[in-house]
Amino acid sequence: MLKIVNLSVSYGPRRVLKDVSLDVGSGEVLALIGPNGAGKSTLVRAASGVVPVEAGSVRTNGDDLLRLPAMERARRLAVVPQAVALPPAFSVWETVLLGRTPYLNFLGQVSARDEELARSALARVDALDLAGRRVGELSGGEQQRVLLARALAQATPILLLDEPTASLDLHYQVSFLETLRSLARSGQLAVLIALHDLNLAARFADRLALLVDGNVQAAGTPHQVLTPELISQAYHLPVSVVPHPLADAPLVLPD
């Protein structure tokens, strides 16, 4: 569904992504893990067309997303950013309706169908009751849900998320990722999510890709990627990997 092929990005002389190739299938959640500065955010931004790409392509159904105009791209791929510095005075409803932009004229006039889709997007993230609130009044977890709803309102087959759980507490992290996974299954979405927390990634993603210094060091099931050797090397930190006591997922613990 989503095919990132040999993507390379440089900031000035520094190469931040080097020939990155990844596949995400429909209904699948691929978690992008790796230390700070490995290029996770850059990958999300490059794949969504907001940083210039040196080489490579981002393909879906034969289209190269990077060659499409912004509006066409936004009908195929939506991004959930971290909920920081959101304009506080917008209402949740106005915010989610903005997700309909790729289907609107430049005046942004919405139809009944747009409103219907925005409402259903809010319902799918369990945030319908927030519709009338101002974004600035919401908790971090609620804001993150609103941004997910906005991306769902874009009605795209591909969803990219940039560390959406970074500022959430454990309860919100788990419920956000659970929601995301069930949305991926039910809507047959291809989901690529940059995540900091290795254990949450192992718990909720179908596959992991370990990014180190702009290279994909390893990709595969959580058991294949979260090995003591790979993780110790990537994070420069000795770690042990033990099985989750209740679920079929590895747990990474620093030694």
Partner 1 sequence: MQTRPYFLTLLFLLLAIALSVAVGSVFIPPADLWRVLTGRPPQEVTQAAAILLDLRLPRTALLLLTGAALGGSGAAYQGLFRNPLADPYLIGVASGAGLGAVAAMSLGWPYTTLGLLAVPLAAFLCALLTVALVYSLARLGRTVPTTNLILAGVAFSSFATALTSFLMLRSQDEVRRALAWLLGGGSVAGWGAVLAMLPYVAAGLAGLLLSGHTLNLLQFGDDQAAQMGLPVTRAKTLVLVAASLATAAAVAFSGIIGFLGLIVPHLMRLWFGADHRRLLPLSVLGGAGFLLVADVLARIVLAPQELPVGIVTALVGAPFFLWVLRRAKGQGIW
Binding site for partner 1 (CB under 8 A): 45, 48-50, 69-71, 73-75, 77-79, 81, 85-91, 94, 98-99, 101-102, 104, 106-108, 136, 150, 154
Closer residue to partner 1 in complex, CB, 133/185: 133
CB of 239 to partner 1, least distance (A): 33
Phi and psi of 83, rounded to 5°?
A: -80, 75
Instruction: Report in angstroms how near the CB of residue 246 gets to partner 1 at its nearest.
Output: 37
* C-beta of 94 vs 206, nearer to partner 1: 94
CB closer to partner 1 out of 78 and 191: 78
Q: What is the DSSP letter of 136?
A: G
To the nearest 10 degrees (0 to 180), the angle between helices 112-124 and 140-153 is: 140
Query: Look-up: residue for tokens 């909920």?
Result: 83
**Minimum gap (Å) between residue 166 Cβ and partner 1:** 16
Which one, 49 or 56, has the nearer CB to partner 1?
49
Q: Which of 90, 204, 209 is nearest to 138 (CA)?
A: 90
158 and 126 Cβ atoms separated by less than 8 Å? no
Evaluate whether 209 touches 191 at the Cβ level (below 8 Å). Answer: no
Please, what is the minimum distance in Å from the beta carbon of residue 154 to partner 1?
7
Give the chain's count of helices (H) and strands (E). Answer: 9, 12
Whichever of 48 and 165 has its CB closer to partner 1, that residue is 48
Query: Least separation, in Å, of the C-beta of 10 and partner 1?
Result: 13
Strands, E assignment, 41-187: 55-60, 63-64, 77-80, 158-162
Tokens at 184, concatenated: 């991926």
